[in-house]
Homo-oligomer: A and B are copies of this chain.
Amino acid sequence: IGMGASLPPARPVEHAQYDFGGGFPDPASFPYDGIVEATARMMKAEGAQALTYGTPQGYLGLRELVCHKYELFEGLKVKPENIVVSNGSGHALSLAFSAFLDVGDVMITEAPTFSGTLHTIRRHGPEIVDVPVDGDGLVTSVLREKLAALRKQGRRCKLIYTIPNFQNPAGPTLTLKRRQEVVALAQEFDTVILEDDAYGELRFEGEPQPSLFSLDTSGRVVRAGTISKILGAGMRLGWLLAPSALVPVLQSFLFGGGVAPFTSRVSTWYMRDNMAEHVKVLVNVYRDKRDAMLRGLWEILKGTDVEISKPEGGFFIWIKLPAGTDTKRLQTLAGEARVQYTAGPAFFPNGGGERHIRLAFSYESPEKCYEGARLLARAIVNAKA
């Protein structure tokens, strides 16, 4: 096989006709020229550092930019020494699981929760106890019950994994009252919270809530972030924001040569001039797509007992299918319409979710979100058992 034989021609990523599957960012919004230009400028100023080994904690310029981001969007003041850079937020989360979990330990996730994280968690071998989500987010009364039940058995929950903003996949944003309760419960039951916040800036409406990290005063919250949703997932840059005492242990699972010196610098050089403005553009882009998808769904499904989330931000819509939907049939019909979605069971750690599906409105154009939603909605109607 020759060198570069498969280099593809200029074309977008291959997807289904209507790809509502993964949380792929909108390719039309990628700042192609800006990144090329930032690469050239950065290489002049910092080329030697960009092309050699970095520090395990990550490029200081990027860590400063992350601090600036937190201050800009939520008034949270944190320091670069509390940021650990990673190869995307999936890797960031895995650092926390590696640090806190041994095989057989108990941890808690939401049900449903992000399927990608469930994969990472399973490789770490803990027992997962799940807590449901309602319109206000993680149900804290059930969280208390589960923590208390574990204590009764002489076991300790090592970690609570939660997605407080535009929960993936279910959509709700955790209320302030519940945020305070989760933090208090972590303290009462001596456990750590892993707060996954990949979408926080992409809020279309409603009031932002303080992060669990900012509400905590006992050094128990580790927060994961990413530039995948506001610049480009192909950079594979994420981070953990952690209390000082936890930084060394999280860093101890960063193997080899410092994280991403080149892409850290390319991204930083682009974002320090463009982040706020670019995020504003994205909020409008994704709000339009969400609205188009919801319009398409409701035009066909109104009058049924379907339940459809309306998230205040992020990439996903969560659907509870009408009673009596034959989900196998739905899969066939949606396939025929070339609409890709993700079936609910992928998001449940211990079973369930058969009546649910998740749609990502992030990737396709508003027009295709609308059309594809209508096609899928018709498939749902026709999949009535």
Contacts and interface: CB of A to CB of B under 8 A. Distances in A.
A40, A80, A87 — which one has the most chain B CB atoms within 10 A of its CB? A87
A277 to B, nearest CB: 13
Copy tally for this chain in the complex stands at 2
Interface stretch (A9-17, A211-219, A281-289, A300-308): A9-17
Given A22-B53, A51-B27, A87-B87, A94 B255 contact: yes
A228 to B, nearest CB: 7
A1 B68 contact: yes
A50 interface: yes
A320 interface: no
Contacts of A10: 44-46
B45 A9 contact: yes
Interface residues of A, number: 79
A36 interface: yes
Interface of A: 1-13, 22, 24-25, 27, 30, 32-33, 35-36, 39-40, 43-54, 60-61, 64-65, 67-68, 79-80, 87-91, 93-94, 98, 116, 119-120, 123, 228, 231-236, 238, 252-253, 255-263, 266, 268, 272, 275
A272 B233 contact: no
A5, A46, A53 — which one has the most chain B CB atoms within 10 A of its CB? A53
Nearest 5 CB-CB pairings of A with B: A90-B256, A51-B232, A234-B261, A3-B68, A51-B234
B5 A262 contact: no
Contacts of A1: 64, 67-68, 79-80
Given A5-B64, A260-B260, 4 more contacts: A13-B49, A32-B43, A32-B47, A36-B43
A64 B2 contact: yes
A24 B60 CA distance: 19
A362 to B, nearest CB: 10
A120 B6 contact: no
A355 B38 CA distance: 48
Contacts of A116: 256-257
A66 to B, nearest CB: 10
A236 B255 contact: no
Contact of A256 (B9, B64, B94, B261): B94
19 contacts: A1-B68, A2-B68, A3-B65, A8-B49, A9-B45, A22-B53, A25-B51, A30-B48, A40-B40, A50-B234, A53-B233, A88-B257, A116-B257, A120-B256, A123-B252, A234-B261, A235-B262, A236-B261, A263-B263
Given A10-B46, A87-B260, A123-B252, A65 B4 contact: yes
A94 B68 CA distance: 33
Contacts of A88: 256-257
Given A25-B52, A48-B30, A88-B256, A61 B6 contact: yes
A126 to B, nearest CB: 15
A13 B35 CA distance: 23
Contact of A4 (B7, B263, B268): B268
Contacts of A228: 53, 257
B6 A234 contact: no
